[in-house]
């Protein structure tokens, strides 16, 4: 065997041993074992991904345990109805969940940025004093409105 083949085989063996080695607690004597979800996430890098069903079941199990221990009762808003999200009913069904995820992550959809830009350009047009400023604001506003109309139309389909 060539030296490169031996090195590659040794590296694969070391990786396999590291993968098979049980996880140790972060602090000696802490005795805390990683949760099953953390274990599933760690194993994702080394093999096939756990099914969505398995992750959902593990999350449901952990929530049920927290409920049984009474940890959820101290959460703010426990037992109250969820607040209605403004604009949820007006958002097309196909994009509700992606938009909700973007909102939760603090990311503004491009369409919202275009609406804000349109409002700023309308204010700029109203404040324009020279014909050149008016023409530039009208051109920019027309471009933004066209882009916005195309984006909104693509969401309706």
For the cut 80, the answer to whether the pLDDT of residue 116 exceeds it is yes
The Cα 132–Cα 138 span in angstroms is: 10
Task: Specify whether 67 is located in the same domain as 110.
Answer: no
The burial class, CB within 10 Å (0-12 / 13-18 / 19+), for 98 is exposed
Mean pLDDT of all residues belonging to the chain = 77
Structural domain includes residue 85: no
Question: What's the whole-model pTM score?
Answer: 0.42
Structure tokens at 115: 């609406």
Task: Tally the domains of the chain.
Answer: 2
- Three-state SS for 23? coil
Structural domain includes residue 80: no
What pLDDT, on a 0 to 100 scale, did the predictor assign at position 33? 52
Helical residues (DSSP H) of the chain, grouped into ranges: 3-20, 36-44, 52-69, 93-105, 110-127, 131-156
The burial class, CB within 10 Å (0-12 / 13-18 / 19+), for 148 is middle
Q: Which domain holds residue 65?
A: 37-71
pLDDT in tens, 69-94: 888 888 888 888 877 777 777 777 88
Structural domain includes residue 88: no
For the cut 70, the answer to whether the pLDDT of residue 30 exceeds it is no
């Amino acid at each position: 065997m060539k030296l490169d083949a031996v090195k590659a085989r040794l590296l694969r063996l070391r990786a396999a041993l590291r993968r098979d080695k049980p996880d140790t607690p972060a602090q000696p004597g802490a005795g805390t074992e990683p949760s099953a979800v953390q274990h599933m996430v760690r194993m994702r890098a080394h093999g096939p991904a756990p099914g969505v069903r398995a992750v959902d079941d593990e999350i449901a199990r952990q929530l049920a345990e927290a409920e049984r221990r009474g940890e959820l009762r101290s959460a703010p808003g426990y037992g109250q109805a969820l607040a209605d999200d403004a604009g949820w009913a007006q958002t097309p069904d196909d994009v509700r969940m992606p938009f909700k995820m973007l909102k939760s992550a603090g990311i503004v959809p491009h369409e919202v940025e275009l609406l804000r830009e349109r409002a700023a350009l309308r204010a700029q047009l109203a404040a324009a004093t020279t014909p050149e400023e008016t023409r530039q604001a009208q051109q920019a506003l027309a471009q933004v409105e066209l882009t916005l109309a195309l984006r909104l139309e693509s969401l309706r389909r």
